[in-house]
Structure 1
């Protein structure tokens, strides 16, 4: 059996790390990297430290409008599929790489496997929501993380080929969190000494990512978020995508940020360390919300809705408007339940996924 796997963004690298370890034992996997995330720390480093097999193909698409980026991926992926003639095309999540891979395969009648199927934010203005829905409706095998995802698919009339396996990102978090515990705390700060400078090692911090278009489409929204960060009771470590970083640097010239430590994207193991040990995570990233939940770190999500609805139970994750007062209120005053359910499995989702594919169910 041959499977072509299409990935292109940080969360997909992490999920692929968990699944590829299992796939290589039973079949041939051909990895295609679209180049959607092309920064070395957002791409190459992840392959190295997560021990993901090197991509056989790299399309090098880079940034661009949704239409241009997706179109370039479609052309490149179709050529690869015709050449490789796989039994399946596998995609993860909800990026442009996801929909491009699924469409390219579906058009030439190659069955599509969608990992992390059934997620819904119910906000069709989000490109990710459009990608999720379209991918689910043209997939042959749909692997779901939670019961809510199964229910979402049923409500859309999708019941065939649907499997509840748990969450492959949970597999990765549990696996690699053991690795970070083997490393001395000081080493993480030594690796990032150029960032912290005179601050030295931080004893207390918040971790943030801000990258979604609805939060970064205007400088004023980013400015509002940063003004809230400046009032937190500990520094905010903010790894930023190059486009967002440039915007933050421009704002910093006017606002003179002192509490926000804006850094270049960091590796997955470093990200896990700073997530696991943060006071709270403040993010608009779906993946980081879930990682925080799995690692028992409270989270404030800078969005009006989340596809990971389970994390909201017990206020382990709460939603905040892009409003300075609301962000501060949610960070400072949220009462979090001591009880927390395990929604995402025991770290065996990739095993279940591979066994299902091989069995042909």
Structure 2
């Protein structure tokens, strides 16, 4: 074995915590040294520390508390602080997951160090370069020493960009996470009772992306479409609202129809349970598209493109943009879907496969 053994995981948002939880558990089960570096990109309690507690994960070794800011300001601060942390840790490997500013910061810092960079969930492409996440994905993939692609489609995307070496299709750790947590959510979550909901008789809305909630007309169209869809199927809507979106509602003076019930951001187990029993999800989140597909809950995505095209291919998801009439039609069709598609994201052993490869390089 080499002298340096520590694997550092750099993360900063709720989806990263969820998707890296299986990797952390696998590291613990192997007794392999690791260090968690949390940038603090999500800084409210329900979007951050409560997740570690609820998922029975140890608190991060480093909590950088970067918080919000413009993309440049936030990423720049992260690069500075992550560099300090990784220089102290001196890891053999750094693992990042996904497409956030935290991922990009971790990738840039690692590329300047004597450490290998592994990108989990590599190769996703929406082919919409106006999305900050798309640039984060591309730059991180091209900086990485090993790329853990969730699907063959993602690996094919990498090949078109000339990345063919050190690419392994492992499946997505989101399957590991959903498998590990859905039973726990069923046992512990009281979310349906709190909101007086019956399984299969409500819709869930999540809208938080800047291109949707920072544009008044787009945000209004989404809300109107979801409200009309809810009326057409006779179900209420639960909208666990992101702080950014809530600020925009006030700023734009947008009213919320009575059949859309706003809620504070939910903890992971509550949200997972809410997803599992919803008639349909309406979302602009890539992670929600994946989880809904795995949970056999139909999804309608209020975007023009997706970096999870597999969800559309298997019939679990429909892209509708923000057109009100298209949202209504898609929700009505989704509610009647049989949800008999095949999960395209692997068999739930992604974390094990990833660490088999990483740990082998350290022997």
The TM-score bracket by the shorter chain reads: over 0.9
Q: Which moved more, 1:201-210 or 1:273-282?
A: 201-210
1:117 partner SS: coil
Q: Does 1:4 align with 2:14?
A: no
Q: What are the superposed Cα offsets for residues 162-199 of structure 1, whole Å, 9 maximum, x if unpaired?
A: 11111101100011112123247xx3245xx4xx4xxx
Alignment of 1:197-212 (within 5 A): 200-202=196-198, 204-212=201-209
The 1:254–1:207 alpha-carbon spacing in structure 2 relative to 1, beyond 3 Å, is closer
Of 52, 61, 64, which aligns to 1:56? 61
The alpha carbon displacement at 1:314 in A equals 4.2
Q: What are the superposed Cα offsets for residues 99-152 of structure 1, whole Å, 9 maximum, x if unpaired?
A: 000001101232111000011111111111100010000100111110001111
CA RMSD between the two structures: 1.7
1:304 maps to what in 2? 304
Of 188, 192, 196, which aligns to 2:191? 188
The 1:254–1:267 alpha-carbon spacing in structure 2 relative to 1, beyond 3 Å, is closer
1:149 maps to what in 2? 154
The alpha carbon displacement at 1:202 in A equals 4.6
Q: Which moved more, 1:107-116 or 1:326-335?
A: 326-335
Q: What are the superposed Cα offsets for residues 205-258 of structure 1, whole Å, 9 maximum, x if unpaired?
A: 11111011111122221111111222213111111111211223566x663520
CA contact (8 A) 1:207 1:238 kept: yes
CA contact (8 A) 2:92 2:115 kept: yes
The alpha carbon displacement at 1:16 in A equals 1.4
The 1:207–1:74 alpha-carbon spacing in structure 2 relative to 1, beyond 3 Å, is same
Aligned length: 351
Q: Does 1:223 align with 2:217?
A: no
Of 85, 96, 99, which aligns to 2:104? 99
The alpha carbon displacement at 1:332 in A equals 1.1
CA contact (8 A) 1:302 1:321 kept: yes
Q: What are the superposed Cα offsets for residues 8-42 of structure 1, whole Å, 9 maximum, x if unpaired?
A: 01110001111100112242111111110001001
Q: Does 1:360 align with 2:357?
A: no
2:43 partner SS: coil
Q: C-alpha distance in 2, partners of 1:83/1:57?
A: 11
2:187 partner SS: coil
1:255 partner SS: coil
1:278 maps to what in 2? 278
CA contact (8 A) 1:189 1:201 kept: yes
2:88 maps to what in 1? 83
Q: Which moved more, 1:228-237 or 1:280-289?
A: 228-237
2:78 maps to what in 1? 73
1:182 partner SS: helix
- With normalisation by structure 1, the TM-score equals 0.93
Of 9, 23, 27, which aligns to 1:19? 23
2:121 partner SS: strand
Q: Does 1:290 align with 2:320?
A: no
Gaps of 5+ in 2: none
The 1:77–1:183 alpha-carbon spacing in structure 2 relative to 1, beyond 3 Å, is closer
1:214 maps to what in 2? 211
Alignment of 1:18-57 (within 5 A): 18-24=22-28, 25-57=30-62
Q: C-alpha distance in 1, partners of 2:350/2:207?
A: 28
CA contact (8 A) 2:316 2:339 kept: no
CA contact (8 A) 1:143 1:164 kept: yes
2:183 maps to what in 1? 178
Q: C-alpha distance in 1, partners of 2:147/2:182?
A: 27
The alpha carbon displacement at 1:261 in A equals 1.0
1:208 partner SS: strand
Q: C-alpha distance in 2, partners of 1:18/1:36?
A: 21
The alpha carbon displacement at 1:90 in A equals 0.9
CA contact (8 A) 1:95 1:128 kept: yes
CA contact (8 A) 1:209 1:239 kept: yes
